[in-house]
Amino acid sequence: MPYLYGHNLRLRSAERTDIPQFLRWINDPEVVENLEVYAPMGTVEEEGWFEAMKARPIDERTLVIEVHPEGSDDKWVVIGNTSFFPINQKARSVEIGIMIGEKDYWNKGYGTEVMRTMCRYGFEELNLNRIWLRVYDTNPRARKAYEKAGFVYEGTLRQAEYKHGRYMDVHVMSILKSDWIKS
Ligand SMILES: CC(C)(COP(=O)(O)OP(=O)(O)OC[C@H]1O[C@@H](n2cnc3c(N)ncnc32)[C@H](O)[C@@H]1OP(=O)(O)O)[C@@H](O)C(=O)NCCC(=O)NCCS
């Protein structure tokens, strides 16, 4: 698969050599605060996840987010990952997930640009009709990024998750191909 280019980033296929970095992110409590991750992960678990991910259809595999480090236009640095999974082939609908694991790169517009790049890929290359996501009530940064990328609030799954000793509301947001074309 060729790289997918956004305004200031690119997305590439995940490699086995990315596993140590993924493992560092997934074990960082701050990074996974608003993700469905609660147990410590080791190399064995991450390698198992990697094999299962690579066995999925190519459109549903994890992509790595790369950006230019500050002060360089020719180097790339890995900051996170994203994926469409699973695709509902009949409805042409898919859930999207994103994790920027390098915290120094939060709040710089990359999350928004990743969503825009994935929307363009999903609607213009994969012929999807709906891209949707779940976001915790406790994650206003993510909700803002998704809104900036054109996602709209659909509804709330009440007390759908449990973390830190309490139930949490989870919001559903989506963007349709028709919204994308209008934007
Ligand atoms: C959530 C995530 C993808 C967002 O990406 P990002 O690159 O940090 O976000 P962006 O910079 O594109 O946009 C964030 C916006 O939220 C705003 N924001 C940050 N913290 C905020 C807060 N507490 N309340 C309201 N808005 C906030 C930022 O100012 C920015 O808006 P602006 O551009 O108008 O100033 C990224 O931070 C991340 O991966 N976090 C860890 C994992 C995670 O939570 N994944 C998502 C699970 S649904």
Which residue puts its alpha carbon closest to atom 12 of ligand 1? Answer: 109
Question: 57 CA distance to ligand 1 centroid (A)?
Answer: 29
Which residue puts its alpha carbon closest to atom 20 of ligand 1? Answer: 141
pLDDT along the chain (183 residues), means of 10: 93 98 98 96 98 98 96 94 97 98 98 98 98 98 98 98 97 98 92
Contacts of residue 174, Cβ cutoff 8 Å, sequence gap at least 6: 130, 131, 132, 133, 151, 152, 154
pLDDT in tens, 133-153: 999 999 999 999 999 999 999
**pTM (two decimals):** 0.98
Q: What pLDDT is recorded for position 69?
A: 93
Q: What pLDDT is recorded for position 1?
A: 66
Q: Edge-to-edge, what's the strand order for the sheet holding 63-67? A: 4-5, 9-13, 63-67, 77-88, 93-100, 130-136, 166-176, 152-163
Question: 183 CA distance to ligand 1 centroid (A)?
Answer: 21
The letter for the amino acid at 166 is R
Does residue 170 lie in a domain region? no
Does residue 138 lie in a domain region? no
Closest Cα partner for 175 from 70, 95, 78, 87? 95
Does residue 158 lie in a domain region? no
Pocket of ligand 1 (CB under 6 A): 31, 34-35, 80, 98-100, 106-112, 135, 139-142, 144-145
Does residue 31 lie in a domain region? yes
Question: 44 CA distance to ligand 1 centroid (A)?
Answer: 31
Question: 143 CA distance to ligand 1 centroid (A)?
Answer: 7
Number of folded domains that form the chain: 1
Question: Could you tell me whether strands 130-136 and 166-176 are parallel, antiparallel, or unpaired per DSSP bridges?
Answer: antiparallel
DSSP state of 96: E
Q: What pLDDT is recorded for position 152?
A: 98
Does residue 16 lie in a domain region? yes
Does residue 25 lie in a domain region? yes
Q: What pLDDT is recorded for position 66?
A: 98
Q: Tell me the residue range of the domain where 17 lies.
A: 4-129
Give the whole-angstrom CA distance, residue 25 versus residue 14: 15
Scored b (16 or more CB within 10 A) or e, 37-69 reads beeebeeeebeebbeeeeeeeebebbbbbbbee
Q: What is the CATH number of the domain that holds 72?
A: 3.40.630.30
Does residue 155 lie in a domain region? no
To test the pocket of ligand 1, the residue of 119, 141, 170 to mutate (highest count of ligand atoms within 8 Å of its CB) is 141
Q: Taking a C-beta distance cutoff of 8 angstroms, is the pair 132, 94 a contact?
A: yes
Give the whole-angstrom CA distance, residue 105 versus residue 14: 19
